[in-house]
Amino acid sequence: GQQVMQIPQYQHVQEGEDFTTYCNSSTTLSNIQWYKQRPGGHPVFLIQLVKSGEVKKQKRLTFQFGEAKKNSSLHITATQTTDVGTYFCAGRSGNFNKFYFGSGTKLNVKP
Partner 1 sequence: DSGVTQTPKHLITATGQRVTLRCSPRSGDLSVYWYQQSLDQGLQFLIQYYNGEERAKGNILERFSAQQFPDLHSELNLSSLELGDSALYFCASSVAGTGGEEKLFFGSGTQLSVL
Please identify which residue in 59, 82, 96, 111 interacts with partner 1, judged by CB under 8 A. Answer: 96
| Residue 21 contacts partner 1 per CB under 8 A | no
- Our finding on whether 34 is near partner 1 (CB under 8 A) is no
The answer to whether 15 and 109 are in contact (CB under 8 A) is yes
Tell the smallest beta-carbon distance from residue 20 to partner 1 (Å): 18
Residue type, 91: G
Alpha carbons 65 and 55: distance in angstroms, whole number: 7
Contacting partner 1 (CB under 8 A), which of 19, 34, 87, 100? 100
Instruction: Pick from 11, 21, 33, 64 the residue near partner 1 by CB under 8 A.
Output: 33
Rounded to whole angstroms, the Cα distance separating 33 from 50 reads 9
Examine residue 101 and tell whether it contacts partner 1 (CB under 8 A): yes
In the bound state with partner 1, the residue whose beta carbon lies nearer, of 17 and 101, is 101
On whether the CB atoms of residues 69 and 98 are closer than 8 A, the answer is: no
Q: Which residues bind partner 1 (CB under 8 A)?
A: 6, 30-31, 33, 35, 41-45, 48, 50, 88, 90, 95-104, 106
